[in-house]
A and B are shown apart, each in its own frame.
Chain A
Amino acid sequence: MYERPGSRGFFTWRRRQLLLAFLFVVPALINFTVFRYIPILASIRASLYQYSLLGGYGDFIGLDHYARMLHDPTFWTSLRVTTLFVIYKVPIQIVLSLALAVFLQRETIGAGIVRSAILTPMVTSIIVVSILWAMMYHSQQGLIQSMLNAVGIPRQAFLSDARRALPAVTVMMIWKDLGFSMIILLAGLKAIPQTYYEAALVDGANAWEAFRRVTIPLLMPVLMFVIVTQAIFSFQVFVPVYQMTKGGPQDSTKVLVYYIYQQGFRFQDMGYASALSVVALVILIVVSYLLMRWLQPQT
């Protein structure tokens, strides 16, 4: 390596420049190492031990936590509930947000106001939304009861009914997340060149055909992005369950992340909670890989 006159020993000019450059990225690298990568390794380690918050690390127990999971009915219930939530929520949300994006894409004041309204739940914290909706769903004093009453429908139990609690939470989460998927789809719609529609028009296509043959295929990469990210976000639902139902009634809303929280912080079993986290992480990686594979060829 060539040296500039005046540079001393190890710190050649070039090395000094590299070091200076590296300093710019060091804080971020440290952050990601300590708070993104190490937690995953730490949880893999913790999952192999008896580990509680109060007692600290206990005996090494190998894969016992993972074996316990196989025979833990609540774990399987939580997996089923989480899957149901994702299956209910994502398709409905995507269809609704696509319809709204198409309906509201015009640049008029009216459409702008509606877009802002749809955006409002999205920027509101999930805990405030959960608190408000729990009050709206309240079986006696809820606003929804009052509205149902006005159209002649008798009082309904929502969150305290094992069959309705999960759909009720799902409706709320669709309401909350609709703005997010709509914004991204709106950006995707804007990126489609207008000439494609004109060409379709010349070929005699009507609005629906143009939508099916121009909009959908060209929007596919964006749609795929929204579907995959929403599936991943929805799989990790926690706050509404924590605030509105505590997993009940009869475990009908006990989603996986809530079960992890319960094991770790309510039952103080960090070892088992870590094992559950590792499994959840693996499921997420596999599912998002499969989703991307499944949606890719159609683009």
Chain B
Amino acid sequence: MAVVEQQSNIPAYVATRPQSEALLALRRTALLVLRVVLYTILTLIFLVPFIWMIFGSVRDEKEIFQYLYPFSWHTFFPVHWTLEHYMDILGISDAGKRFGLNFGRNLLNSAIVSTGVVICSLLFNTMGAYFFARLNFPKKNWLLAFVLVTLFVPLEVTMVPLYIVVRALHLQNSYWAMIVPWFASPFVIFALIQYFRDIPYELDEAALLDGASYFRILRTIIVPLAIPGLVTMALLEFQFIWNLFYWPLIAVQDNNLQVLQVAISSQTTQQQTFWGRTFAGSALASVPVIIIFLALQRYYIRGVASTGIKG
């Protein structure tokens, strides 16, 4: 992608109109105010549900409904702060124990599965991408086509078929079921091939003449030079697997193995829904990830923009 000088063109059109100084200044101020107002409205539209969730998770249950009408400051902002809902869902408080809640365990499961997938994915996709970007092999393009066609295998539509296979392998209802199907990804291989091709091949050649093995070249030359690409891919893969819902829902029945996303969902489908606990569970499942992504936004945007991957 060509990097172009970033400058906005719109004011240029405005500025070319012959107008008096005062009018121009007025117009500029009006545009600025309009812009700020629009920015604020847009930000609120996208953040209000999260604000509601976070504040709702740290206030008394009855407060959530008490201040709903009329719409006011306290519709969002707690009067009495409490961490009770978090104690409940983590099974620390008595009420939480009585309901058999143990989101800590589900959180751990999510962490295990995500870590497993990200590590496997980094290892096997890096090896695969290295093969396609660097190594000689007869009919390599056919193999690449074999890999890239799977880009077009739609995810949700093939969940039932995937389940049939995983069941036939007797992997269902285990961590393996949640990790093994995702240990390689056509998206990641495709993206990493682009990153690897940017590394000069002369480095490989020199190492090959020195008698270095393929694996050694990959480890000592390619990987260190492709760190930004690898970070981006790890991030995207982590988001994909952490947020996955449909697959763990059908692949795992044992609540002790279940991931957080499914656990919070099943909590809401019981006869009585506790809003405070639901808020707390949702916050637990989303806020850490949101923070990671906002902090590493640059990598993330570049990754999405370059490959069009969706989590």
Contacts and interface: CB of A to CB of B under 8 A. Distances in A.
B290 interface: yes
A184 B306 CA distance: 8
A187 B305 contact: yes
A136 B124 CA distance: 42
19 contacts: A21-B137, A24-B128, A24-B130, A25-B143, A31-B180, A35-B181, A40-B161, A42-B164, A105-B8, A107-B6, A120-B290, A124-B290, A126-B245, A127-B262, A128-B282, A143-B68, A187-B301, A264-B250, A281-B157
B42 A280 contact: no
A273 B124 contact: no
B188 to A, nearest CB: 9
Q: Across chains A and B, which 5 residue pairs bring their CB atoms closest together, nearest first? A: A125-B243, A43-B161, A39-B161, A187-B305, A150-B71
Contacts of B49: 121, 129, 132-133, 136, 143
A157 interface: no
Contact of A132 (B53, B71, B311): B53
A86 B244 CA distance: 21
Contacts, number: 284
- Specify the main secondary structure of chain A where it touches its partner: helix
Interface in B262-311: 262, 264-265, 268, 275, 278, 282, 285-286, 289-290, 293-294, 297, 300-301, 304-306, 308, 310-311
Given A31-B184, A194-B4, A207-B10, A225 B154 contact: no
A39 B164 contact: yes
Contacts of A146: 68-71, 75
Interface in B181-223: 181-184, 186, 189, 213-214, 218
Contacts of A29: 128, 143, 146-147
Interface stretch (A4-12, A68-76, A161-169, A236-244): A236-244
B107 to A, nearest CB: 13
Given A28-B189, A114-B43, A277-B158, A149 B71 contact: yes
Contacts of B137: 18, 21-22
Interface string B43-62: 10111111011000000000
Contacts of A265: 250
Contact of A149 (B70, B153, B159, B278): B70
A61 to B, nearest CB: 17
B164 A274 contact: yes
A220 interface: no
Nearest to A53: B167
A281 B1 contact: no
Contact of A123 (B6, B143, B289): B289
Given A24-B130, A24-B131, A123-B311, A132 B36 contact: no
Contacts of A124: 50, 243, 286, 289-290
Contact of A113 (B43, B75, B182, B239): B43
A123 B296 CA distance: 12
Interface string A96-124: 00001001011100110110111111111
Interface of B: 1-10, 12-13, 16, 35-36, 38-39, 42-43, 45-50, 52-53, 64-65, 68-71, 75, 124-125, 127-128, 130-132, 135-138, 143, 146-147, 150, 152-169, 180-184, 186, 189, 213-214, 218, 239, 242-243, 245-246, 249-250, 261-262, 264-265, 268, 275, 278, 282, 285-286, 289-290, 293-294, 297, 300-301, 304-306, 308, 310-311
A175 B50 CA distance: 13
B282 A132 contact: yes
B1 A190 contact: yes
A81 B69 CA distance: 35
Given A116-B297, A123-B239, A136-B52, A39 B1 contact: no
A95 B70 CA distance: 34
A184 B305 contact: yes
A67 to B, nearest CB: 20
Contact of B301 (A111, A127, A183): A183
Contacts of B138: 18
A13 interface: no
A107 to B, nearest CB: 5
Nearest to A103: B38
A236 B155 contact: yes
Nearest to B249: A242
A216 interface: no
